[in-house]
């Protein structure tokens, strides 16, 4: 139960928000413990005490039933069924608070990647949960699809009218 509705924190007007999505092939207990220690520090900080963290698992049978070559989906999306993300909210325009929020989200993201980094697998973040600090391959995949997507984007939308916060340009 996310508690998302028009009266929830997610719908509060005039507040800042920062997140840091992480896609994982499996839960790493050490990484989750590190992340929740950091999350405890985040929510103990009165500036961020309404923050949440998302821990989601997705079924993969339908995803894997579609031929990989027929999609623009990064291979990591087919291999990493877990999505986790801290979501911090805060009021005001204090530069130090903004800096602290991004440091917290970065620390939590790095903690959650503990097991992935040990296994030498590549980091991946579902593009809609990306913070903007990720590389294009980290969001769109490390294979040839990124080059193909960039070519199609240039061909079909050369003026980037369908761009968003993490565009392929």
Best-predicted range by mean pLDDT among 4-13, 65-74, 110-119?
110-119
Residue 154 falls inside a structural domain: no
Mean pLDDT, all residues of the chain? 88
Residue 48 is predicted with a pLDDT of: 96
Higher pLDDT, 145 or 14: 145
Digit-coded pLDDT (tens) for 82-122 = 999 999 999 999 999 999 999 999 999 999 999 988 888 89
What is the model's pTM? 0.84
Residue 9 is predicted with a pLDDT of: 56
| 133-138, long-range: CB < 8 A, 24+ apart | 133/20, 133/106, 134/166, 136/168
| Closest listed residue to residue 142, CA positions, set 69, 73, 67 | 73
d(CA 140, CA 122): 12
* Paired residues of 16 in beta bridges: 90
Q: Residue 57: give the domain boundaries.
A: 17-141
Tokens standing for 91?
Answer: 């009021």
Residue 164 is predicted with a pLDDT of: 76
How would you classify the pairing of strands 82-90 and 16-19? antiparallel
d(CA 117, CA 32): 14
Residue 64 falls inside a structural domain: yes
Number of domains in the chain: 1
Residue 165 falls inside a structural domain: no
Residue 7 is predicted with a pLDDT of: 58
Residue 24 falls inside a structural domain: yes
Q: Could you tell me the CA-to-CA distances from 57 to 27, 47, 75, 149 in Å, in that order?
A: 10, 29, 17, 27
As a whole number of angstroms, the longest Cα–Cα distance in the chain is 49
With a cut of 80, say whether residue 12 has pLDDT above it. Answer: no
How would you classify the pairing of strands 52-57 and 22-24? unpaired
Digit-coded pLDDT (tens) for 33-62 = 999 999 999 999 999 999 999 999 988 888
Residue 5 is predicted with a pLDDT of: 58
Is 82:123 a contact under the CB 8 Å cutoff?
no
Best-predicted range by mean pLDDT among 11-15, 26-30, 55-59, 159-163?
26-30
Residue 80 falls inside a structural domain: yes
Q: Which CATH number fits the domain that encloses residue 27? A: 3.40.462.20
Residue 157 falls inside a structural domain: no
Residue 136 falls inside a structural domain: yes
Beta strands in 11-158 (DSSP E): 16-19, 22-24, 52-57, 82-90
Residue 78 is predicted with a pLDDT of: 86
Among 4-8, 120-124, 156-160, the range scoring the smallest mean pLDDT is 4-8
Residue 68 pLDDT grade (very low, low, confident, very high; cuts 50, 70, 90): confident
Contacts of 130 (CB under 8 A, 6+ apart): 21, 138, 139, 166
Average of per-residue pLDDT across 118-140: 89
| Closest listed residue to residue 112, CA positions, set 53, 58, 165 | 53
Residue 130 falls inside a structural domain: yes
Tokens standing for 75?
Answer: 């291979």
């Amino acid at each position: 139960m996310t508690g998302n509705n028009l009266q929830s924190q997610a719908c509060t007007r005039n507040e800042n928000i920062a997140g840091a999505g992480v896609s994982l092939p499996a839960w790493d207990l050490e990484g989750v413990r590190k992340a929740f220690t950091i999350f405890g520090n985040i929510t103990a900080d009165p500036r961020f005490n309404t923050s949440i963290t998302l821990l989601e698992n997705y079924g993969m049978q339908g995803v894997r039933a579609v031929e990989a070559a027929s999609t623009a989906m990064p291979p990591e999306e087919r291999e990493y069924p877990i999505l986790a993300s801290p979501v911090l909210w805060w009021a005001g325009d204090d530069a130090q608070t903004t800096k602290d929020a991004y440091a917290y989200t970065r620390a939590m993201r790095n903690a959650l990647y503990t097991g992935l980094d040990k296994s030498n697998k590549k980091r991946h973040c579902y593009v809609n949960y990306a913070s903007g600090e990720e590389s294009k391959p980290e969001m769109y995949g490390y294979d040839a699809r990124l080059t193909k997507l960039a070519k199609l984007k240039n061909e079909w939308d050369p003026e980037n009218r369908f761009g968003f916060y993490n565009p392929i340009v």
